[in-house]
Amino acid sequence: MGLLSFKIFIMEKLSIEISNGAVGFSLPELDLPEIKIEEKIPTHLLRKSELNLPQISENEAFRHFLRLSQLNYNIDKGIYPLGSCTMKYNPKINEELARHYRFINVHPHTPSEFSQGCLAIIYELSELLKEISGMDAVSLQAVAGAQGELAGVLIISKYHKSKKEKRDIILVPDSAHGTNPATATLAGLNAIEIKTIETNGILRAESVKKEIEKYGERIAGLMITNPNTLGIFEEEIYEISQILHQIDAQIYMDGANMNALVGNIKPSKFGIDVMHFNLHKTFSTPHGGGGPGSGAIAVKKHLEKFLPNPRIKKIGEKYELVYEDEEYSIGRLHSFYGNFGMFIRALVYIRMLSSEGLKMISYLAVLNANYLRKRLEEIGYKVSYEMPTMHEFVLTLKDIKEKYNVKALDIAKRILDYGYHAPTIYFPLIVEEAFMIEPTESESKISLDNYIEVYRKILNEIKENPGIVLSAPVNTHVSRLDEVKAAKELIVKWQDI
Ligand SMILES: Cc1ncc(COP(=O)(O)O)c(C=O)c1O
């Protein structure tokens, strides 16, 4: 018997559209005197008309949301090679423990003597991140990578201010993540871009020296993503940090790409002063579209007093959240101590793998990326920079566009037709028709081979019948959306049209 090879797509209606008057709950008989709401709430605050809420039974509601969840592509469905977003498999034990009733029922205002277990988790994870990075102190408060960056740059600013120095410039290579210059600007500094196109995508010490000649001690620091957004290791980072330290400029490392390094090298060895991790990229906590993540930061000793407050301390055998160095601290970034559920997941992951396992993560992430790159190059795709690949790589589809008039966007849409998630496209901006691919260590060779096969088929389609690719996707629940209109005319509330 052959496989069913057709699909029927039925768009899921909104819950209000399937509303049928059913009731999904039953309340017990009232056993207290009834209170008239009109007597308790001022008339002008009372609702004028009945709310039109969906009325459906419990099983209809459950099925509706389950069907909705299945419309979405996710890492549990298949490979999700979204470069720069590191969609690795999230082990289910992380989720189970993060949802344990002993954790989810702890109120954030619980006094420390009754929340020693939770504080121990925060402390232990901070200690492990210190060990992994080789840095001297850690704060877990930032709830996203970009917020970690902001914390780091504010720390650098405050460091210079504490020395009564006016420094207003942050150097940022164009191969850094887009959030880096944005963060520097948000922190009130001027981001000066250093071009890397003529230096094979990496920042050279020579280029930094030229900036020092131009700006001297106006330079507060450097923000460098390592490996950078081209998936290339910044091989001169140590030399660069030495040069900048001569004028006391501070080195910020965006360590969101630690999946390429974890367990094998400690960033403290690069001469950096402050860095952030994306727990959601390296330690398998869910990425969650901008949050709730965790952008833990780590600093060298001389910057410790500028860390956000409160800080976790072990005093004797007890754990405490303490406020320290208030005149130096950049203050509070987030309520309580950040996204606690993420700490549990990251800690479970690190403890489960131990140091040998962490080492294997980066070996395999780099191996998988190199295997994929090599095979795609053999098929006929072109890599943007001929440098060794770390955990991800960026193809340029410029030649395909010029020859066949098929863009990176069209190919990404066609990948959806084959049932896979597309890679990141048009990023980094320094690559024309960019296709940024990050397989992660979670994928097996079979999974990578299946993915490569899709690229091979699409290239053949482009050569033989590009129309197929230009009209993709046809096998998805919705076809090509007007993304510009969607972004510019955002309607986020239901309207009966
Ligand atoms: C290299 C790099 N830096 C910074 C960020 C920003 O992290 P977030 O999205 O958590 O703010 C990302 C995002 O994935 C990233 O890939």
- pLDDT at 195 > cutoff 80: yes
Per-residue pLDDT reduced to its tens digit, 422-434: 999 999 999 999 9
* Mean pLDDT, the chain, integer: 94
Choose between 16 and 412: higher pLDDT.
412
Which protein residue's CA is at the shortest distance from atom 2 of ligand 1? 256
Angstrom distance (rounded) from CA 174 to CA 284: 28
The alpha carbon of 312 and the centre of ligand 1 are apart by a number of angstroms equal to 25
Q: What are the CA-CA distances from residue 370 to residues 86, 176, 312, 454 (Å)?
A: 15, 21, 40, 18
Q: Which residues contact 463 (CB under 8 A, 6 or more apart)?
A: 404
Which protein residue's CA is at the shortest distance from atom 4 of ligand 1? 145
Q: Is 84 in the pocket of ligand 1 (CB under 6 A)?
A: yes
Q: Is 176 in the pocket of ligand 1 (CB under 6 A)?
A: no
Band (pLDDT 50/70/90 cuts) for residue 51 is: confident
Q: Is 279 in the pocket of ligand 1 (CB under 6 A)?
A: no
Give the nearest ligand 1 atom to 86 CA. Answer: 14
Give the nearest ligand 1 atom to 225 CA. Answer: 1
- pLDDT at 6 > cutoff 50: no
Q: Is 144 in the pocket of ligand 1 (CB under 6 A)?
A: yes
pTM for the complete prediction?
Answer: 0.91
Q: Is 85 in the pocket of ligand 1 (CB under 6 A)?
A: yes
Q: According to the model, what pLDDT value does residue 5 have? A: 40
Q: According to the model, what pLDDT value does residue 290 have? A: 53
- Rounded mean pLDDT of 240-258? 98
Per-residue pLDDT reduced to its tens digit, 116-138: 999 999 999 999 999 999 999 99
Angstrom distance (rounded) from CA 170 to CA 154: 12
Burial bucket for residue 155 (CB in 10 Å: 0-12, 13-18, 19+):
buried
